[in-house]
Amino acid sequence: MLHAYGMLGLAIILEVIGTTLLQKSQQFTQLLPTLGMAVCYLGAFYCLSFVLRTIPVGLAYAIWSGLGIVLIAAVGYVLFGQKLDLPALIGIGLILAGVIVVNVFSESVRHGA
């Protein structure tokens, strides 16, 4: 199970890097960010395919998307100066809380598919 979470973490990191490069690609007009984005997305889905051997797809995707939203919002703030208002921050906090609840309290995560 630890290996699955490591792969899921790597998939999330690659997806966040890919999304960051998507912004930097300027609608696919910049070659290197576009290629980097494609490599990161392919790597992210490759890692996710291994995760799905252990963690049910619904739970894996909930963790993937929840943490991805939180991380990319932080990247948007730090790298691109994209500010979030209070309702957006509350919503992202609720998403993060949901990921924590799933991982701490759900028996589905511990028992796998």
Give 106's pLDDT tier (boundaries 50, 70, 90).
confident
Print the domain residue range for 28.
Answer: 2-111
Q: Are 11 and 70 in contact (CB under 8 A)?
A: no
Residue with tokens 């490069």: 21
Q: Considering only CA atoms, which of 7, 42, 35 is closest in space to residue 21? A: 35
Greater confidence (110 vs 27) lies with 27
Q: State the average pLDDT over residues 54-82.
A: 93
In SS3 terms, the chain reads as CHHHHHHHHHHHHHHHHHHHHHHHCCCCCCHHHHHHHHHHHHHHHHHHHHHCCCCCHHHHHHHHHHHHHHHHHHHHHHHHCCCCCHHHHHHHHHHHHHHHHHHHHCHHHHHCC
Domain count, the chain: 1
**pLDDT tens for residues 36-66?**
999 999 999 999 999 999 999 988 999 999 9
**pLDDT tens for residues 85-105?**
999 999 999 999 998 898 888
Q: Are 20 and 79 in contact (CB under 8 A)?
A: yes
pLDDT above 90: percentage of residues in the chain: 81
